Amino acid sequence: ERLLLVTPDLARVLAEIISRLRNRYNGAVPLVARYDNYEATTGPPLPHLFQRDYGSGPTAMSPTMVRVTLREVADRMGLTDTAGNPMHLTPHDFRRVFTTTAVQDGLPLHIASRILGHRHLNSTQPYTAVFQDDLIRTFRTFVDRRRSARPAEEYREPTPEEWDEFEEHFALRRVELGSCARPYGSSCEHEHACIRCPVLRVDPAQLDRLEAIAASLLQRITEAEERGWPGEVEQLTISLRAAQDKILATAPPRKGSVFLGDPAIPPTNAPQA
């Protein structure tokens, strides 16, 4: 996955570019910095292959220079499109061609996405000539290859005891106010304080019960204040806030229009004679 297969023609061209730079600069490719027009930043010195010497030393070619050079080469070659019009190539065209060829040759789509600097596969799929079938096939091929590299015992059939344990875990998720969304195989880390727990998923059918619990907490806070139990007041207040947050998150949105009042027309100053 960290190697990109290229055609012999491309390998020969890259070798010629590297040899030309090495012969010109004492056997090594010069390290030059490149300015990114989109990020408005200058990158670190790197052995960029597309360099040009203006007399003061080698510098990386700008996108404008590459675009102009491609247009001159296309005009010299007499390239035309299907309509017979002159073909104008851009660096972005070669980026698309490279990505499409790499994916069709077996490079996983998510690896191509990382090479292109995309954050999501949705950006890479239309960027290349990759269709939905290609996306599914590439993903399945990658998963099969990964599975073949894993120990075979990880893909064995589960035993009846393991199935019972699996089903029991999800059965124990059912609680008074809804269901617990803690990860599989993990115990309750909040000592079954479901009101405060952030992974509690409240069942809308139990909203009345939750409101009753909130009302009971409010009464207990009043009693604790009257009896002078500040520690109890603090703990109950935390539980009450958590219950109120869950009520707001679970309660259905209000229906109907909201009266905003009649519009007021500001008075105008009449002209004085």
- Lowest pLDDT segment from 22-31, 35-44, 58-67, 136-145: 136-145
Report CA-CA distances (Å) from 134 to 107, 108, 109, 111, 184: 11, 10, 9, 14, 33
pLDDT band, very low/low/confident/very high, at 15 (cuts 50, 70, 90): very high
249: enclosing H helix or E strand: helix 230-250
How much is the pLDDT for 1?
Answer: 46
CA distance 125 to 116: 12
183-237, pLDDT tens digit by residue? 877 777 777 788 888 888 888 888 889 889 989 999 999 999 998 999 998 988 9
Q: Which tokens is 6 given?
A: 């290229």
Q: Is the pLDDT of residue 16 over 90?
A: yes
How much is the pLDDT for 254?
Answer: 64
CA distance 196 to 238: 8
Which residues have C-beta within 8 Å of that of residue 69, sequence separation ≥ 6? 61
The answer for 26, left when phi > 0, alpha when psi is -120 to 50, beta otherwise, is left
159-186, pLDDT tens digit by residue? 888 888 888 887 888 888 888 888 877 7
Q: Per-residue b/e over 166-201, b at no fewer than 16 CB within 10 Å?
A: eeeeeeeeebebbebebeeeeeeeeeeebbbbeebe
Residue 127: closest CA among 98, 166, 105, 168: 98
What average pLDDT does range 143-147 have in this prediction?
A: 84
CA distance 142 to 111: 11
How much is the pLDDT for 44?
Answer: 92
